[in-house]
Structure 1
Amino acid sequence: EVPYYRAMLKRMALEGTYVINNPFWWSADDKFFNYSLAAKLGVAIPKTVLLPQHSYIPDIVSESLRNLEFPLDWQGIVDYVGFPAFLKPHDGGGWKMVSKIHSLEQLWYQYNQTGTRCMVLQEAIDYDKFVRCYCVGQKKVLIMPYDPTKPYLSGQQYVQIENYLEPELAQRVESDVIKICQALGYDINTVEFAIKDGVPYAIDFMNPAPDAELASVGEYNHNWFVNAVTDLVFEKLSKEIPQPEYRWISLLNGVNAVEKKKVGTKKSSSKKTSNASKKASSTSRKKSKSSIEDLSTNQEVKTRTARG
């Protein structure tokens, strides 16, 4: 959130400095893209819809958004996502501007407060268990029982419960964490899962500067993270570090791997994904008219009030 640091890190990367995490990708990343990527990788996610902004800067005129539809098909959106749901920024963090929505009227009210922020509406999973996972070096994973209902950074969210997940479920969570972080290219990240009926739904995994404060995460989690990052740094220093290839195609190795697997196969990849993943991939489906690529014409370009 300090633009000066991000700009300087990019400059240092240009001169050959290895930066943890990649400052170019961090600048380009956003949550809606993350959900779309996870679905493509076969990771279960909640049903999610990208919403056009409520308001626009003065220089945006009607012709600028002639490929958008107005009014939105609000009923179609909520029929797909369901209630309760979360309205949140498509690229935010730290639980800022996040609202839990229980009705269409409440959705309209909260949406009307969002101004120029682009938002997503996401299914709220009525979870049985919730975990937050550190991932360091795209291979070391610590699964932490987590209570998202407690105040953020309060020190009450992280709880110590032995054998919180069954071995098979823990293995799936760890596998999904590594798969996501390798695809995104993050050396350090946290991934959150809401677990319902044995299915871990990836909720939040755009955390390249994760909370590791001792007072917040607790001594055990803090020490694990510090030790894992220390090992990562010394591992990087112990061998020649290849200069990263700062091009978009090279930053999506996880997607490239998926595409390569498709080559030569006769069956559609959609048959190989789980039912939950199929539904999750509908973040960009044609039926959801709120996605930019699916919206048609005639959106009024004015600060407006959501209505049916």
Structure 2
Amino acid sequence: MKKVGILVGREKTFPVSLIESINERGGGETVAEFVKVGGVRHDSSREYDLIIDRISHEVPFYRAFLKRASLEGTVIINNPFWWSADDKFFNYSLAAKLGVAVPRTVLLPQKSYIEGITSDSLRNLEFPLDWQAIVDYVGFPAFIKPFDGGGWKNVSKVNSLEELWRVYDTTGTLCMTLQESIEWDRFVRCYCIGQEDVLIMP
């Protein structure tokens, strides 16, 4: 029997429907359930053949657990090892190189730094930033948001340079991007499976 685990956060509709669908179609040979995880031993054995991960990008403990599970042969979707290359700014840049249309985006230096970072630590940083050139390139309205993470955390829509500065001044040690706002009438997510099938999910 194959066992599928679903690791999720606050979302409810998608994971419940997915579990029901897998269990209905599995015919008893494949079963799905929500993953339950507590203290994880370094020598733990495999519990799942496949884990579908929807939350480890926000919970480092889950990400470490998933890496450990992969050592036992568990297939993980999405691959937890991609996290090291999974910042949004890199992904925007990569997508543009591959010919995918991407909103105009600028990576911004942090507003603040952890203790111990001095002006000598930042001597390669252009200061002050050429804010006018940045907003001339991106335009308004725009979104200022972290270069990594997700879930619409710390995302603000700004309509002027003054508004941008007000938000930027509150971002602390977060590394941010400023991204062109694209007006749209339909939103879809595209999933690529096996580097062959692209599924569009409204």
Normalised to the residue count of structure 1, the TM-score between the two structures is 0.44
Question: Match of 1:102, as an amino acid?
Answer: N
Larger RCO (alpha carbons 8 Å, 6+ apart): 1
What secondary structure sits across from 1:63 in the alignment?
A: coil
What secondary structure sits across from 2:177 in the alignment?
A: strand
Supply the distance in 1 between the matched residues of 2:128 and 2:170 (Cα, whole angstroms). Answer: 17
Q: Is 1:39 aligned to 2:90, yes or no?
A: no
1:142, distance to aligned residue in structure 2 (A): 3.5
1:114 to 171, 193, 196: 171
Q: Is 1:88 aligned to 2:174, yes or no?
A: no
Kindly indicate which of the two structures has a greater share of residues assigned to helix.
Answer: 1
1:15, distance to aligned residue in structure 2 (A): 4.1
Supply the distance in 2 between the matched residues of 1:62 and 1:14 (Cα, whole angstroms). Answer: 43
User: Is the alpha carbon distance of 1:144 and 1:20 closer, same or farther for their aligned partners in structure 2, counting shifts above 3 Å?
Assistant: closer
1:52 to 93, 109, 117: 109
- Residue 130 of structure 1: aligned partner: 187
- Residue 30 of structure 1: aligned partner: 87
Question: Match of 2:154, as an amino acid?
Answer: M
Residues 47-79 of structure 1, C-alpha deviations (whole Å, 9 max, x = no match):
100000000011111111110011111001000
Question: Match of 2:92, as an amino acid?
Answer: Y
Question: Match of 1:9, as an amino acid?
Answer: L
Kindly indicate which of the two structures has a greater share of residues assigned to strand.
Answer: 2
Question: Match of 1:104, as an amino acid?
Answer: L
Q: CA RMSD in A?
A: 1.8
Supply the distance in 2 between the matched residues of 1:127 and 1:12 (Cα, whole angstroms). Answer: 39
Supply the distance in 2 between the matched residues of 1:27 and 1:7 (Cα, whole angstroms). Answer: 12
Identity %: 77
Supply the distance in 1 between the matched residues of 2:70 and 2:130 (Cα, whole angstroms). Answer: 45
Supply the distance in 2 between the matched residues of 1:42 and 1:26 (Cα, whole angstroms). Answer: 23
1:80, distance to aligned residue in structure 2 (A): 0.6
1:6, distance to aligned residue in structure 2 (A): 1.2
1:3, distance to aligned residue in structure 2 (A): 1.7
Aligned residues: 145
What secondary structure sits across from 1:133 in the alignment?
A: strand
What secondary structure sits across from 2:151 in the alignment?
A: coil
- Residue 160 of structure 2: aligned partner: 103
Question: Match of 1:68, as an amino acid?
Answer: L
Superposed counterparts of 1:230-245, under 5 Å: none
Question: Match of 2:85, as an amino acid?
Answer: A
User: Is the alpha carbon distance of 1:51 and 1:12 closer, same or farther for their aligned partners in structure 2, counting shifts above 3 Å?
Assistant: same
1:67 to 96, 101, 124: 124
Superposed structure 1 runs of 4+ greater than 4 Å apart:
none
Supply the distance in 1 between the matched residues of 2:146 and 2:82 (Cα, whole angstroms). Answer: 18
Residues 203-253 of structure 1, C-alpha deviations (whole Å, 9 max, x = no match):
xxxxxxxxxxxxxxxxxxxxxxxxxxxxxxxxxxxxxxxxxxxxxxxxxxx
1:100, distance to aligned residue in structure 2 (A): 0.7
- Residue 14 of structure 1: aligned partner: 71
Question: Match of 2:200, as an amino acid?
Answer: I
Residues 86-112 of structure 1, C-alpha deviations (whole Å, 9 max, x = no match):
101100211111111100000000001
1:28, distance to aligned residue in structure 2 (A): 3.4
Structure 1 residue ranges without an equivalent (≥5): 146-308
1:45, distance to aligned residue in structure 2 (A): 0.4
Supply the distance in 1 between the matched residues of 2:78 and 2:189 (Cα, whole angstroms). Answer: 19
Question: Match of 2:63, as an amino acid?
Answer: R
